[in-house]
């Protein structure tokens, strides 16, 4: 369905990702030629490497260090003092500041201020059910984007929520395009060099803030889209941490691998070094398998003439989608223990089974011509965040009967993951 040369195209489901009325981004664009051109302009900014390392790694390391510093300074518990911390909130802050630093060359300031600036997270959580409704009934998007209803949409004059960050992004795009003030190496600067327009860059930034792992970029259609997806990577990070804590054998195996690697790796650990830690990689893949961050079905249109799918004929023009959670829990792919967190499955599988498993997990990022441009960013963030937390802290869940609250709409969002942290010896 997602093959590069396949005849499937995106259905109207994706119109829900259009942030600015009348202006498409790489997610919302339905026209095949337009979508292909947008991807071509943006793709090189994600795949460029220097000495086999991604150019955005330094920005990510800066924000993960800010994250760790905040936790060590304000939220480390001792025998005499307990300091509870909501990791759901802090992981969201981290994801947002990573998006900011990578996309426009500076963080939004969530980690420094340690608060929900402009009530973005609160408003974002309450708006996701509306986005889900619009994705299911895409005709509603046309109504919402028409006058006078579009007056109620977020706008740059707002002092809180999504609109406030839109203004932040817009100013950064204008600086990069007209005064060249963006930090060299930021994606926004690369997009300028590759010919993206101001409107393209602003909207794409907004989309990526909704769908961090699916469109994490900075392009007016393309930095408005970056703001929107901090939910996704944060969710997988949190659920992976929870799964590790709940599986002592996995916890011990991962801790052992990290401790043995510490004397021989850099601080912060490089992406190249991360890829030499097989158990950590297995843990991240297992977390993604079990806890995909996107619950929307990503509908595509069956090509004219129809298709036979699993022995059933599906007429052309039919919208078909993919249930990511069902793929990740399919016993046909993962075996009888599909509902159990077991990273070892990735280390002992045959080459044929491993190929099948990797393809199944990769569908969480789309595939082929629909593949996620921000996948390298999301995967690096997941690995590095889990590594640093496991290296530096012992973590205990405060409310084991209900460790966190999860809300599923088009994305899966978490709140109230209260834990205590104790600093480990250096």
Give the SS3 label for residue 10. strand
Q: Does residue 148 have a cis bond before it (omega within 30 degrees)?
A: yes
3-state secondary structure of 56: coil
Tell me the CA end-to-end span of the chain in Å, nearest whole number: 49
Quick one: pLDDT at residue 199? Answer: 64
Q: Which residues are annotated as a binding site for heme?
A: 372
Nearest CA to 19 among 174, 233, 165, 117?
165
Instruction: Enter the pTM of the model.
Output: 0.84
Series of mean pLDDT values for 10-residue runs along the chain (426 residues) = 76 75 74 77 57 74 98 97 97 90 84 88 73 74 64 61 63 63 58 63 54 38 45 87 96 98 96 97 97 82 91 93 90 96 97 94 82 83 97 97 89 92 92
CATH number, domain 9-418, options 3.10.450.50, 1.20.1090.10, 1.10.287.130, 1.10.630.10: 1.10.630.10
- Domain-wise residue ranges, the chain: 9-418
Tokens of 283: 């843990």
DSSP type of residue 425: P
| pLDDT at residue 218, rounded to an integer | 37
Angle, vertex CA 318, rays to CA 312 and CA 320, nearest 5: 75
For residue 41, how many other CB atoms are within 10 A of its CB? 18
Q: Which residues contact residue 61 at a Cβ distance below 8 angstroms, ignoring those fewer than 6 apart?
A: 268, 384
CA dist 325 and 260 (Å) reads: 34
The one-character DSSP state at 183 is P
CA distance 36 to 199: 18
Residues comprising the binding site?
A: 372
Residues 290 and 341: beta-carbon distance below 8 Å: yes
Look at the block and give the residue holding tokens 């801790």: 255
Give one DSSP letter per residue of 284-326, joined into a string.
HHHHHHH--SB-S---EEPPTT-EEETTEEE-TT-EE---HHH
Q: What is the pLDDT of residue 222?
A: 42
Q: What is the pLDDT of residue 193?
A: 64
Exposure string of 72-91, with b = 16+ CB inside 10 Å and e = fewer, is eeebbbeeeeeeebbbbbbb
* The token pair that represents 133 in the structure block: 């409704």
Dump the DSSP string for 63-102.
HHHHHHHHHHHHSB--SS----EEHHHHHHHHHHHHHHHH
| Angstrom distances, CA of residue 305 to CA of 12, 284, 308, 313, 369 | 20, 40, 10, 10, 21
In the prediction, which pLDDT does 390 show? 98
Report the pLDDT value the prediction gives residue 65, as an integer from 0 to 100. 98
Per DSSP, helices labelled H in 137-197 are: 139-144, 161-174, 187-193
Per-residue pLDDT at 334: 96
Cα atoms in the Cβ-side hemisphere of radius 13 Å centred on 160: 6
């Amino acid at each position: 369905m997602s093959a590069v040369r396949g005849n499937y195209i995106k259905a109207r489901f994706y119109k829900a990702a259009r942030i600015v009325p009348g202006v498409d981004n790489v997610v919302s664009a339905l026209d095949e030629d337009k979508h292909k051109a947008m991807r071509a302009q943006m793709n090189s900014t994600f795949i460029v490497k220097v000495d086999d390392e991604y150019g955005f790694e330094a920005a990510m390391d800066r924000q993960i260090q800010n994250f760790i510093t905040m936790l060590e300074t304000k939220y480390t518990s001792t025998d005499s003092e307990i300091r509870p911390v909501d990791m759901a909130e802090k992981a969201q802050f981290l994801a947002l500041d990573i998006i900011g630093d990578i996309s426009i060359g500076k963080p939004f300031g969530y980690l420094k201020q340690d608060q929900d600036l402009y009530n973005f997270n609160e408003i974002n959580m309450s708006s996701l059910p509306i986005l889900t409704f619009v994705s299911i009934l895409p005709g509603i998007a046309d109504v919402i984007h028409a006058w006078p209803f579009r007056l109620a949409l977020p706008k740059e004059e707002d002092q809180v929520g999504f609109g406030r960050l839109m203004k932040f992004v817009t100013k950064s795009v204008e600086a990069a395009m007209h005064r060249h003030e963006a930090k060299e190496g930021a994606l926004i600067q690369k997009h300028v060099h590759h010919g993206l327009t101001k409107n393209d860059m602003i909207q794409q930034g907004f989309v990526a803030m909704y769908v961090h792992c699916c469109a994490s970029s900075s392009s007016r259609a393309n930095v408005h889209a970056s703001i929107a997806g901090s939910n996704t990577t944060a969710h997988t990070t949190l659920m992976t941490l929870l799964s590790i804590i709940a599986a002592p054998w996995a916890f011990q195996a991962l801790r052992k691998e990290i401790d043995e690697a510490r004397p021989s790796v850099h601080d912060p650990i490089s992406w190249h070094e991360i890829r030499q830690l097989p158990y950590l990689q297995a843990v991240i893949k297992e977390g993604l398998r079990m806890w995909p961050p996107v619950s929307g079905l990503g509908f595509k249109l069956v090509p004219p003439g129809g298709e036979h799918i699993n022995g059933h004929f599906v007429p052309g023009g039919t919208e078909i989608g993919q249930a990511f959670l069902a793929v990740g829990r399919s016993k046909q792919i993962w075996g009888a223990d599909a509902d159990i967190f077991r990273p070892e499955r990735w280390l002992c599988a045959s080459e044929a089974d491993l190929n099948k498993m990797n393809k199944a997990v990769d569908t969480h990022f789309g595939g082929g011509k629909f593949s996620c441009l921000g996948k390298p960013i999301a995967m690096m963030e997941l690995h590095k965040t889990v590594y640093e937390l496991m290296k530096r802290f012992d973590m205990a869940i405060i409310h084991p009967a209900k460790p966190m609250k999860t809300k599923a709409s088009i994305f899966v969002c978490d709140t109230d993951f209260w834990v205590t942290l104790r600093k480990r010896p250096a």
